[in-house]
Every structure is written in structure tokens, then in C-alpha cells.
Structure 1
């Protein structure tokens, strides 16, 4: 295996200090077995939070993914893009502890590789698709029924890399995480510039296809020299329709140890985003729905320039973990912003229990006016009113 190592030249760990911005950082060097050239790199000394990974950076510059930007081309809904990226890091924490591992955007799955893998499998006449395409093959001139029977299931493969400092005071690649973005709704055109058709993809079908593709992805990754004996976490993400106002969610994950070539078992992931207000929320999440309706009415009665309240609840294993709330208003002056912010703060303190986190954004046509955040388990929210 070709070894990628980061030689540590200076370690300065400052625990419990307030962050400064003078670029005091932990200096690192990169070295490969093929040559002795060393390339300067750094790890920021301060972390925003214990919840975040420290990134690896070279020559004072962020190292972008080798497939930078392709996710925007492949996934239509920006909410899905954000959730897939942040959610993959969230699930990675269970495998790669942020206190021990450093983070880097994917360096092995390049744009060319993903364009090849995300295509359809080459058909029998060789006129459509690629030999390595993971999506079902389809002949040119296929009918609407053939399109529906052979949807494009896989839209994107996201890679994240994790490094760990070893006893020899070097940092090596010690794991990668892979996210497979699977469509829950397939949009297609039978004729170029023709009408668009839609085919809903059931979760069971999505999972079956995703697991088959995950096995193929694992086998291909193992053929890459650097990844032959590295642990690999693989997740399956179910996208929402591109018009959805909430993102999709992860539905399954697995971790294979270094050198393993086969996925032996999968773990079901029970996560879901719910829109408030909505019919789904009223039917399936009645307690939180009623609380949000009461909150909405309280704000409407207090503030004359109120437009509405929109909430996005994140549920894990059937329990509410976090609620993001947006309050759009008509801006009529800073005094009104301060007053409304104080009032919403009091509503949170009095009416919302702290077993879930809550984040409230008060926004006007001029942008965000204030922010109220209370993390899960905390008693008092953090408040910030923006100066403009």
C-alpha cells in the first residue's frame, strides 16, 4: 500500500483558551515513500467546537475535494446537498472520533471517476452508458415503460477522508466515509426537450439497489492502492424531491474493517426531517404540531408585522432532536426586532422543554435580523441581534 503520511514538526495544544485569529497553528509536513520531498501543511490549533473535526490544510490553503462541485450538478435540492455533507460527518463521528481524527475532503474519487460510475451501465450494443456505470443500462430510443422499469437510482457518491496521528508522531489516512445519494423520485424525458415524467421509487427498492451498489463501490475502492487496508464507512442517503422544503435522510450505514472486501451487515438508520406546519406533522407528530401552532399564534398576537412561522424538526429514533424555526417579518425598525426577539426568547424558556435543541431565525427582506439558539440539554438560549 502506498503510504500517505503527515510528519508532525510542531505540536501546540491549547485547551480551554478563547480562540484568536493570528494563524497560530499546528505545523505539519507531508511525505510519501516514493520521494523525500516534504510539503508544508497545517492543522488549525483551535476548533470551533468539540463537535467539529480539525481540517488538514496545505500551504495555508484549504484542500478541496478531487470531485469539487459535482454534487451540485448531480443533486437538485440544495437542502439535500447540505444534509448529505453534514450528515455524513455526523455519522462518521461514531467511527472516527473528532478528538483523535483530522478531516479532509475526498481525494480519491475524482470528477472523472464519478462521472464514469454515476452513468448507466453500458448496454449490449455499446451505444449508451459506460462499462463502469452503476445505474441500470438502457438502450437508446427506450420507451416510457422501459425508462420507468430502469430508473437512475444513484445520483452521487460523496467521499470524506480521516487522518489520525500515530505513535511515531505522524498522521496517516486511517479511514474514509462514503455516502451514496439515492433518488426517491426519478425524473426523466423520453424525448430530448420533451415532456418530463416522474417515477416514485419505494424505500425498499431504493435500499436494495443502494446495498448492491455499495458492495461494488467497496470492491472498486479496495483496488485503489492507498485504500486496500483502510476502514471504510458506507451510508445510504435517501433524497427528497427537488421541490421539497425539507431534506431527505440517511436510511442505512455499515463499516468494513481494513482489507475486508465484503459488506456483511447493515445498520438501519432512523432519521427524518418534518415540516411544521404540515399534514404529516399534524397526523404523526401531534404534540410538537400543537406546540408549534401555539407558538405561531403567540407570535402573531404579539407582533403586527408577522408573516408566518416555519419549522423543520429533526427526529432520530422517533424522538425530536432539534427544531429549526424561521420567522419572516416586515422590517419596521430595530426597536421592533429587539422586542420580538426578547418575546420569542421568553416563549422558548416557558413553553419548549430542553430535551431537544431549538434554533430560531428572525428574518426580514433585508436579511437575518436575530438568532436564538438553545442546544439540547441546555437551560438558557444564546441570543444575537445583528447590526446592519
Structure 2
């Protein structure tokens, strides 16, 4: 019997070894984007990618040269995620994920970026926000007026790099994407500890200012060593208010080809994130808004401790592309979670049309309890219940 056990153990080990990933055949390339003092020359291309629409990332992963600036400059955390993810999504139309690899920005340094985000002045000549003639002798009333007339439009500049592989098994910088985050509402103080004032920024004024900033940024990149012929995709992001429940969106983009630094005319982008339920949702998409309300009522009929549904819809050219619904509810046990998830799944399949991506997150006490995902056009949905 012991001999049989030993044979079984050996067989199992052989099977496991046969199923284990084979790192001996990993795809290595010479990475010419690495700093000369890094001590490395090669990078690894992963064998698999998350999806066809996502970029592969070279290993070891390189963090941005301006890492951490986003969280210091962009007030609404929803904007931080949308700015990064949507810039990468728009980049796919210029830098094909089948050809290019993604890398965080390496061309704009940390201190350099902070200097660009300042107001232009004698001490910060690189500042891209408009100057404001304020000193210690300026009255509070004049300070308020000057700030309102000269808002700090620019919040952040996000850089993403796209690498391309040559026939000589070398990866080089093949393109740059720049996301320019502009405020929709300017918040300011006239003195430390004083009250905050708010100034809404007109869309046309914002876009005009963004155009000037974009051309200056492209010019500064062109002045860097090796970037004269690199294609640069520039996209303008209009932030949500700092207390907004959905993020802002990209409103314009333009690819500046190698050798040029002129923006010219923008390609306008018709995208928006919409809160459900809300007046904006009812005005934009009354049918889907009614469906969400009916879905909510259907849950209330069977679960009295249900507290509501909040959702985020993503629209392109006026058409819904993705809807994420979050359902907060208190549970007394795992069986109740399973039963509730089963009911919501059936109600979802009966309520929502399948022409857009749909995700339902069921949560309790800030904990994810279950997840339901149906991709556009799919007949069935993926359902996962998290174990307690």
C-alpha cells in the first residue's frame, strides 16, 4: 500500500510540473527606454494579456517619473481613475494594443510637473496656469475679483508612454499620450484658514485655455532629447466638481505627428458619466432611467431591509455603453446573500436590454458580497458570491 502511495505521489508531482508555467521560454527583449544607470538591459514580455483591448506591460514594471502628483492635484478621486483609464482607452485608437506596450510616463519628472502646474510668475516661469497679480497689500475684495478673473484652470498633466518592438528585438518609445485635466469649478481662498470661494468655469473658456496649454506642453516635450519625431496624442479632460458622485470626462483629443507641435483643430469627444437615479439621467435616457426605478421597486417588494440602488452610466455619442449598479443591503448570513443574488440576477435578466455592459455590485458594510456581470450582447451573465 505504501508503494502505491509513493507511485501516486510521483505521478501527481509529474502532472503538477507539467501544468506549471514554463518560464524558461520567456520572451525577452532589449529595452532601450531604460536609464543608462539602471544596470538592466532586458525586459520580459508576458505570455498573456488581460484582454484584447488592453495593453501588455513589460516586466519589471516601471513606475511613473511623476508618481503621486495626481492624488495631490485632482480633488475628486473618481476623476483620478477615469483620467487614467480613459486616456489609455483613447490611446488604443492611435497606438494599437497589438503592436504597442504600455508604460507609465517617463519623460516628465516629478518636480518638473509640479512647476508646470503652478501659476506663471517671475519665480515659476514654467507655470502653465495664468498669472495673478496679488501681493500682501491687495485687499480681500480685490483678491476675490482677481482670482475669479484668472482661475487656475489646469489641475494635472498625465503622461503615458507606448513602446514598440523592432525587428531587432528591441523595444523603443513609439508614442506618448498626454491627458490634460482642466477644472470645471475653481475653488480658492484669499488667506490660509479663510473661507473658500467657488467660480464655475465656462466650457469654451476652458477649451481655449487648454489649447494654449496643450501646445506649450507638446513644445516642451519636443525639446527633450529623442522626442522630436515621436507621435503625441493629447486629450483634454474636464473634471467633475470636487463633490461630484460621477467623474468628469474627456472632451477633445488630437494626435500631433512627429516633427509637429501644432494642435490645430480638436477632434471633439461626446462622452459623459451619468448618475442613476438623477434628473440628468431622466433627461438623457428616460427609458433606462425608468428601468432602473422598476428594478429598484422589484427588489423592494421582496427584501424590506433593502436601502436603494445607485448607479453610474457611461455614454458615448448619446448611447449607453456601460451601467454599473451598486446595491447596499444588510445580510444575516451566507444563505441570504446567495438567495438575494439569485433573485437580483433573475430580475436583471428580465429588466435590462443586453446591448450594453452591465455590472451589479452587491455590498454590505463596505464589503463586497457578490458580483454580477453581463457583457454587451451576452445571453448569460457571470455571477460570483464571495465567501465570508
TM norm. shorter chain > 0.5:
yes
Task: Note the C-alpha offset of 1:76.
Answer: 1.2
Correspondence 1:216-231 to 2 at 5 A: 216-231=216-231
Any unmatched runs of 5+ in structure 1? 1-18
Instruction: Describe the shift of the 1:316–1:32 C-alpha distance in structure 2 as closer, same or farther (beyond 3 A).
Output: closer
2:52 is aligned to: 50
Any unmatched runs of 5+ in structure 2? 1-18
Task: Note the C-alpha offset of 1:190.
Answer: 0.8
Q: Is the 8 A contact 1:23 1:44 kept in 2?
A: no
* Rg comparison, structure with higher value: 2
Q: Is the 8 A contact 2:120 2:130 kept in 1?
A: yes
2:351 is aligned to: 351
Q: Is the 8 A contact 1:218 1:261 kept in 2?
A: yes
Q: Mean Cα displacement is larger for which, 334-343 or 37-46?
A: 37-46
Two-structure CA RMSD over aligned residues (Å): 1.9
Task: Note the C-alpha offset of 1:331.
Answer: 1.7
2:319 is aligned to: 319
Deviations 1:347-376 (A, max 9, x none): 222121111110000000160000001112
Between Structure 1 and Structure 2, the one with more strand by share is 1
Between Structure 1 and Structure 2, the one with more helix by share is 2
Matches of 2:192 and 2:33, distance apart in 1: 49
Q: Does 1:133 align with 2:127?
A: yes
Matches of 2:205 and 2:196, distance apart in 1: 22
Matches of 1:176 and 1:234, distance apart in 2: 8
Q: Does 1:30 align with 2:13?
A: no
Specify the SS of the correspondent of 2:324. strand
Task: Note the C-alpha offset of 1:41.
Answer: 1.9
Instruction: Describe the shift of the 1:268–1:69 C-alpha distance in structure 2 as closer, same or farther (beyond 3 A).
Output: same
Matches of 2:35 and 2:53, distance apart in 1: 36
Instruction: Describe the shift of the 1:362–1:112 C-alpha distance in structure 2 as closer, same or farther (beyond 3 A).
Output: same
Deviations 1:207-235 (A, max 9, x none): 11111110111111100112110000000
1:96 is aligned to: 95
Q: Mean Cα displacement is larger for which, 303-312 or 33-42?
A: 33-42
1:361 is aligned to: 361
Specify the SS of the correspondent of 2:301. helix
Q: Does 1:306 align with 2:306?
A: yes
Matches of 1:86 and 1:220, distance apart in 2: 24
Q: Mean Cα displacement is larger for which, 167-176 or 92-101?
A: 167-176
Task: Note the C-alpha offset of 1:308.
Answer: 1.0
TM-score (norm 1): 0.89
1:201 is aligned to: 201
Specify the SS of the correspondent of 1:225. coil
1:6 is aligned to: none
1:15 is aligned to: none
Q: Does 1:246 align with 2:240?
A: no
TM-score (norm 2): 0.89
Matches of 1:340 and 1:137, distance apart in 2: 57
Task: Note the C-alpha offset of 1:154.
Answer: 0.3
Deviations 1:80-117 (A, max 9, x none): 00000000000000011111110100001111111111
Task: Note the C-alpha offset of 1:336.
Answer: 1.2
Q: Mean Cα displacement is larger for which, 194-203 or 345-354?
A: 345-354
1:87 is aligned to: 86
Specify the SS of the correspondent of 1:95. coil
Matches of 1:34 and 1:78, distance apart in 2: 32
Instruction: Describe the shift of the 1:33–1:338 C-alpha distance in structure 2 as closer, same or farther (beyond 3 A).
Output: closer
Q: Is the 8 A contact 2:34 2:41 kept in 1?
A: no
Instruction: Describe the shift of the 1:33–1:271 C-alpha distance in structure 2 as closer, same or farther (beyond 3 A).
Output: closer
Q: Is the 8 A contact 2:29 2:169 kept in 1?
A: no
Instruction: Describe the shift of the 1:360–1:280 C-alpha distance in structure 2 as closer, same or farther (beyond 3 A).
Output: same
1:372 is aligned to: 372
Correspondence 1:326-337 to 2 at 5 A: 326-337=326-337
Task: Note the C-alpha offset of 1:56.
Answer: 1.7
Instruction: Describe the shift of the 1:281–1:27 C-alpha distance in structure 2 as closer, same or farther (beyond 3 A).
Output: same
Instruction: Describe the shift of the 1:260–1:387 C-alpha distance in structure 2 as closer, same or farther (beyond 3 A).
Output: same
